[in-house]
Amino acid sequence: MKILKKLKNRSGFTLFELLATMLILVMVAGVVAAGMPVASEAFVKAVDGANAQTLLSTAISALRDELNDATQVKIGATDGSVSYFNAGSGSQSKLYRGTDNIMLQQYIGFESANSLAPARQLVTAEASTKNLYVTYASVALKDGVVTFTDLAVYNKTLSSNPVVKTDLSIRVASVAP
């Protein structure tokens, strides 16, 4: 009997209550959907910033490795390049700004046009990401110290402002006369 009585006295949600609930759910979904692009953009900026910091650190390490034991160092007057003898590899080398990275050119044997090895990026393409590159504004040599001014990582697709930037000074073994 009690069961029959409960079945006859069914209470549930009214149409108005269901519509109000649906309206609230649609509004919440709209707010979440509107926030997704903002969150996604913030995530991409955070990842690019972290990748840029890693790329700059890698470039600094590579420049230090190249120039720590450098002798006969000289700075190109017009192109901002750094020419030196690399005692580790036993070759004359040259660092210069490429179109989208710092390039390393080595000479096999003596420095001449016929003995050029193919130029390569100082920081390999695998170390950099598809949209970030590293370069410097200028380079100077004073008292046996090579100083790269505005060594920076740029984003190719976003703006001309660097993602991260620093100056770097490296003491070299000797300078060219």
Per-residue pLDDT tens over the stretch 91-129? 888 899 887 788 888 887 655 555 667 788 888 766 666
- The pLDDT, as a whole number, for residue 115 is 67
Q: Are 138 and 151 in contact, with CB atoms under 8 Å apart?
A: no
- DSSP bridge partners of 71: 85
Residue 168's pLDDT band (cuts 50, 70, 90): very high
Q: How far is CA 144 from CA 73, 90, 148, 176, in A?
A: 9, 20, 13, 10
Give the number of other Cβ atoms within 10 Å of residue 67's Cβ: 21
Distance CA 7, CA 9 (A): 5
Mean pLDDT of 20-43: 91
* pLDDT tens track for 135-157: 899 999 999 999 999 998 888 87
What residues does each domain of the chain span?
40-171
Q: Which residue has the higher pLDDT, 176 or 42?
A: 42
